Amino acid sequence: MSTTANTSLFKKLLRNKGAVFALVVISLSLVIAITAYWWAPDASPNANRIIVEIGGKKPGFSVDFLLVPIPNKTIEKSAFFGTTDAYQYVPIHSYQLLRDSIVVNKYVDDDTGIVQKYALQQKGGTLSKASIVHKTFYLGTDKFGRDILSRLLIGTRVSLSVGLMTVLVSLSLGLFLGAIAGYFGGRTDAIVMWFINVIWSIPTLLLVFALTLLLGKGFWQVLLAIGLTLWVNIARLVRTQMQSARELEYVNAAKVLGYSSMRTIWKHIIPNIMGPVWVVVAANFATAIVIEAGLSFLGIGVQPPQPSWGLMIKENYNYIITNNPFLALIPGFAIMLLVLSFNLLGNGLRDSLDKKG
């Protein structure tokens, strides 16, 4: 796309309400994904501060904590990957500060507590009045007592990077194979199409199962597996676009001017057919997020304690029919919002690229 075409495309996109909404949500989640640990109330790596006493609390739950230093703990501080906790968080109903010790009514349930005594001089440091902090869990806690809000924020990172990485993998593979199949035709086309049809005929989820079994469980394996399944529709699109572009006179002109096939493909055809490809890329982004959530839900995707939205649903979906449906609904809603945004962006792109529009 040329610069002039790009600016007018962007202007058209801004006239589309759905696309503007999508762009706002996507940029917001991108900012959140990068700066997640700055905002997260629980900034420990993977927001994995387990406090079993306060498991499964409703949104807005708040309680006091006594921070007991953990002895001989190496603390890793990182604004990007989180900071390891230096304290043990002890939830309390009330406390009493004595001369050499602190007596707390440790939180067990809303009405019950256990009286416990901590010496002020601990191995890792001293306890004082400053060791008592008040914390509010705006979106509640999961069954391990972890903060849902923090996990949700950090989970954005998983969803977006899954989308981004799979798009990179599928785009490069799809562009390359689709381009050579469409441009050269004949035998090359037959081989690539055979390969595409084989991949196409296997249900996506099954293929991801197979690849995860082969490559093992984990974040990077999931990325690669989803990327390797999504290149197919990009390749098919690029191939058909290539076939019609191949007949255009400026492609013939490139041939007559003595340009090599690769130069013709990458410099002259690809830039002109990327419009519809971006639409599919946006749709792929959404699909990748959904597949990742599904895989994580099934337990073969992102592995705990890494907070993935799909994993959060899996951990909390029992609560949907019991007392605390929000625990699973909130990550579900987050998935929906992000997927919707990418689909709206795709629709907006398609409408803007439509010359009649």
Partner 1 sequence: MLSRSPLLEVKNYSLSFANSPQKPAVNCIDFTIQTNELVALVGESGSGKSVTALSLLGLLPKKSIGKQSGSLLYTKKDGSQIDLLNCDEAMLESIRGTEIAMVFQEPMSSLNPLITVGEQISEAIRKHKKLKSKAAFSETVSLLELLKIPNPSETYYKYPHQLSGGQKQRIVIAIAMCCKPRLLICDEPTTALDVTVQASILETLKELQRNTGIGILFITHDLGVVSEIADQTIVLYRGELIEKGPTKQLLQNPQQEYTKALIQCRPQADYKGRLLPTVESILSNDSVHNKVFQSTASIQPFIEIKNLNVRFVTKRNWLGKPKAYYQALKDINLTIYKGETLGIVGESGSGKTTLGKALLQLIPADSGDVLLNGTAIGQFSNLELRKKLQLVFQDPFSSLNPSMTIEQALTEPMKVHGMGGNHQERKSKVIELLEKVQLSKEILQRYPHEFSGGQRQRIVIARALTLNPACMVCDESVAALDVSVQAQVLNLLQELKESFQFTILFITHDLNVVHYISDRILVMNKGSIVETGTAHDVFYHPQMPYTQQLLSAIPRF
Q: Which residues bind partner 1 (CB under 8 A)?
A: 1-2, 4-5, 248-250, 252-260, 263, 267-268, 271-272
Residues contacting residue 98 through CB under 8 Å, at least 6 positions apart: none
The C-alpha atoms of residue 343 and residue 26 are separated, in whole angstroms, by 11
Of the two residues 52 and 248, which places its CB atom closer to partner 1 in the complex?
Answer: 248
Of the two residues 32 and 192, which places its CB atom closer to partner 1 in the complex?
Answer: 192
Shortest distance in whole angstroms from residue 258 CB to partner 1: 3
Shortest distance in whole angstroms from residue 13 CB to partner 1: 18
Shortest distance in whole angstroms from residue 257 CB to partner 1: 5
Residues contacting residue 157 through CB under 8 Å, at least 6 positions apart: 33, 34, 36
Of the two residues 130 and 257, which places its CB atom closer to partner 1 in the complex?
Answer: 257
With beta carbons less than 8 A apart as the criterion, state whether 165 and 227 touch: yes
Shortest distance in whole angstroms from residue 19 CB to partner 1: 21
Of the two residues 269 and 330, which places its CB atom closer to partner 1 in the complex?
Answer: 269
Across 273-290, b (16+ Cβ under 10 Å) vs e yields: bbbebbbbbbbbbbbbbb
Of the two residues 4 and 72, which places its CB atom closer to partner 1 in the complex?
Answer: 4
Across 221-253, b (16+ Cβ under 10 Å) vs e yields: bbbbbbbbbbbbbbbbbbbebbeebbeeeebee
Q: If phi over 0 gives left and psi between -120 and 50 gives alpha, with beta otherwise, what is residue 78?
A: beta
Residues contacting residue 120 through CB under 8 Å, at least 6 positions apart: 100, 101, 102, 126, 127, 128
Shortest distance in whole angstroms from residue 272 CB to partner 1: 5
Shortest distance in whole angstroms from residue 265 CB to partner 1: 12
Of the two residues 81 and 259, which places its CB atom closer to partner 1 in the complex?
Answer: 259
